[in-house]
Amino acid sequence: MEVLGISEKDLSERFIKSGGKGGQNVNKVSTAVHLVHIPTGKQIKCSVYRTQGLNRYKARDLLCLELERKWNQAESDAFVQKLRKKKQDKHRKSIKKKLEKEKTEWNEPM
C-alpha cells in the first residue's frame, strides 16, 4: 500500500455478514469486509476466509492489485499513444518526401 501511495485514511471499511461455507460462524458474525478507496471510488467486497482479520488483509491486497492494474493500464495506454503518434509522423514525412521527389522529377527538363 505504501508503494502505491494508499493510506488508511483513504479507506472506508465496513463489516457485513457473509454467509455460505463456514457454518454458524459466518452466519452469525460479520466476517466479510466491504472496502472503499475514497479518492477513486473503487469498491472491494471480500468474504473468502472465515475470519475477519484474514478478509481485511485480502481486501486490501485485492484493492492494491486493482489500483495497480488501473495505473499500469494508464501508463501502457500513454505509451501506445506515443508510438502511434511517432508512426503517424514517420508516415507523414515519407509521403511528403515522396511528393517532393515527384515534384522535382516533373520540373526537370528532358
Phi first, then psi: give them for residue 51, nearest 5 degrees. -110, 150
Q: What is the pTM of this model?
A: 0.59
Helices (H) and strands (E) in the chain, counts: 2, 3
In tens, the pLDDT along 28-66 reads: 778 888 999 888 888 988 888 888 889 988 998 888 888
